[in-house]
Amino acid sequence: MIEYENMVCRELNIPSIPKKEWDGQRSFKVGVAVINLYGGHQAYGVATFNNDVDKEPRVIKVFTLEPFIGIDKVFVVPDYMDTDVESMDLDDESKKAAQMMIEEANELENDGVEKEKLPENEYFFDHITNDDEAAAFIKDYNTRNRIKGRVPKSHDGLVMRLSVIYSETTKRAKK
């Protein structure tokens, strides 16, 4: 029996230990390592491997105080945000299921979301052409809406504040 399965699953936020063993070549950010302990038994730990830096997987977290003497196996935890199914180290059936899940997630993500067309003017409003006009507009907007914020001094700050004002005014106009 391998110790600390629950601890490693909780640490990595995974439901169970991955089934597919590491191929011994590809880099991975996070993996579950089966480590051999000095006392002759085994425990789970967290490992990583980068082809450019490492010659072998590195154990980055263990849950036992007993020293370990080596790594027996490594199971790679898949990168869940990766959407390139062909690069995933999965069998054909799992690749099809992963592709279906990605498509479904994209549909849910874009459901009911309209693409908002942004104005071509850098300052979002057609009547604003420079930083001085932008600062005056923001000051007036803050006064009219009883906002006690200061007017940004940098160009980027002015543009960001104008983008927020533009967003607020378009949301109000849609209601």
| Assigned token pair, 27 | 């880099």
Burial 106-121 (b: 16+ CB within 10 A, else e): eeeeeeeeeeeeeeee
What are the residue boundaries of the structural domains of the chain, listed by start? 5-76, 116-169
Is the pTM higher than 0.75? The answer reads no
- The better pLDDT of the pair 71, 19 is held by 71
User: At residue 173, does pLDDT exceed 90?
Assistant: no
Cα–Cα distance for residue pair 145/101, rounded to 1 Å:
45
Cα–Cα distance for residue pair 149/139, rounded to 1 Å:
9
HSE (CB half, 13 Å, CA atoms) of 29?
7
